[in-house]
Copies of this chain bind each other. A is one copy, B any other.
């Protein structure tokens, strides 16, 4: 893409009311626009990152046998009353409104209820199970405070997966496969520094599992056993739990952390409320065993922006960067322009995603914009380069290491 055509501009300062580093950097670099606390619009660069995260997650969900849906946001009060979660004293982050006929409606913050209700049309027999259903869809949560940028949104894109199994054994097997799937997702996204964390499991299971990335910007507190690479969320941290997990308090280190994913066993909490049953091989009617598994996409992007950035700006991992190469032309003479345009075309022909800074602005402005935007490789075309036999100056954003290599070598490097 030509940077001269990209409608967003970088800016020196984040929004005045923005306390979070992640959001401030993303706004300054033109990835998102802050509409209000906890509400961000995605601009072209940000949307590119979001779609890459989405496609990494979708691929893994499909590998798990997940079938994709897109459930409505608008929620029928009657359905949520069945599970007891309509009441604001039970769920305190509803956005509610009403239809013209005064019927109350809500905006979904999660989808266990409507999905369980709709599956009653489709599940009858053990032959219909197990089934795994996911979506990548917008959630609304009326958070009291939203001061952590993209890490606590009042509106955010979430991948939510729900499993429906015949029995506990089938459920546990899937639950473990989701754990492995999440490890692959985070690795591919470039988030490698996190801990599998034991947290409250609610009524039907002793624990749920969270994936927690250690960061001062986090809103959670966890206790880490560095040797075993596991952690315990403060909410369940007790002598009893430590004993149960074979951990010792003396080994545990307290840290702030960001929850980047979670997986829950739901047992029959929702299938009981909605009467979601199936007839098993033995002719008996049994309730379906459920699980739910979330990853917030905006939060993932916020976490990457928070944890992997440096004092000059964002640093995107290859797999989710908006472009692989930031091609920068230095010099406004016709020869340099011609040469830089030719390289741009060559990269495109090779299928490389490239942002081409073809603007007539100073080298300093180009460099500081490039650092702020954080594309993995910066490639410079200038008079000097041309005189040097066409070898390109390629700089890795993350390490700052610069190499002089030819076009083919550049393609190899960025793979």
Tell whether A19 is near chain B: CB-to-CB under 8 Å: no
Interface mask (A378-409 → B, CB under 8 Å = 1, otherwise 0) = 00000000000000000000000000000000
A44/B71 in contact, CB under 8 A: no
Tell whether A154 is near chain B: CB-to-CB under 8 Å: yes
A5-13, A186-194, A252-260, A369-377 - the one binding chain B:
A5-13
What is the count of identical protomers in the complex? 2
B72/A40 in contact, CB under 8 A: yes
Please tell me which one of the listed residues B73, B107, B128, B142 contacts residue A100 in the complex, with CB atoms under 8 A apart.
B142
Mark out the residues of chain A between 120 and 140 whose CB falls within 8 Å of any chain B CB in the assembled complex: 121-123, 127-128, 131, 133, 138, 140
Mark out the residues of chain A between 32 and 74 whose CB falls within 8 Å of any chain B CB in the assembled complex: 33, 35-36, 39-44, 47, 50, 65, 67-74
Tell whether A118 is near chain B: CB-to-CB under 8 Å: yes
Interface size for A (C-beta < 8 A) is 54
Tell whether A339 is near chain B: CB-to-CB under 8 Å: no
Residues of B within 8 A of A122 (CB): 7-9, 30
In the bound complex, CA of A155 to CA of B47 (Å): 22
A67/B44 in contact, CB under 8 A: yes
A44/B72 in contact, CB under 8 A: no
In the bound complex, CA of A47 to CA of B62 (Å): 14
Given the contacts A97-B107, A138-B138, A155 and B7 also touching, CB distance less than 8 Å? no
Residues of B within 8 A of A144 (CB): 100
Q: Could you tell me the distance in whole angstroms from the C-beta of A382 to the nearest C-beta in chain B?
A: 23
Tell whether A366 is near chain B: CB-to-CB under 8 Å: no
Q: Could you tell me the distance in whole angstroms from the C-beta of A335 to the nearest C-beta in chain B?
A: 23
B138/A73 in contact, CB under 8 A: yes
Tell whether A147 is near chain B: CB-to-CB under 8 Å: no
Residues of B within 8 A of A7 (CB): 67, 119, 122-123, 128, 131, 133
Q: Could you tell me the distance in whole angstroms from the C-beta of A36 to the nearest C-beta in chain B?
A: 5
Per DSSP, chain A at the interface is mixed
Tell whether A347 is near chain B: CB-to-CB under 8 Å: no
Q: Could you tell me the distance in whole angstroms from the C-beta of A29 to the nearest C-beta in chain B?
A: 12
Q: Could you tell me the distance in whole angstroms from the C-beta of A292 to the nearest C-beta in chain B?
A: 16
Tell whether A184 is near chain B: CB-to-CB under 8 Å: no
Given the contacts A44-B68, A68-B47, A155-B73, A142 and B35 also touching, CB distance less than 8 Å? no
Interface mask (A1-27 → B, CB under 8 Å = 1, otherwise 0) = 000111111010000000000000000
Interface centre among A76, A97, A118, A143 (most CB of B within 10 A): A97
B9/A39 in contact, CB under 8 A: no
Tell whether A207 is near chain B: CB-to-CB under 8 Å: no
Residues of B within 8 A of A218 (CB): none
Please tell me which one of the listed residues B65, B69, B127 contacts residue A47 in the complex, with CB atoms under 8 A apart.
B69
A36/B76 in contact, CB under 8 A: yes
Query: Can you pick out 15 interface pairs between chain A and chain B where the beta carbons lie within 8 Å of each other?
Result: A7-B123, A30-B122, A35-B71, A35-B75, A35-B76, A39-B72, A39-B74, A42-B71, A47-B68, A72-B155, A73-B155, A74-B140, A97-B97, A97-B142, A100-B142
- Give A contacts to B, CB under 8 Å: 4-9, 11, 30, 33, 35-36, 39-44, 47, 50, 65, 67-76, 95-97, 99-100, 105, 107, 114, 118-119, 121-123, 127-128, 131, 133, 138, 140, 142-144, 154-155
List 6 tightest A-B contacts by C-beta distance, closest first. A41-B71, A42-B70, A95-B97, A7-B131, A33-B118, A100-B144
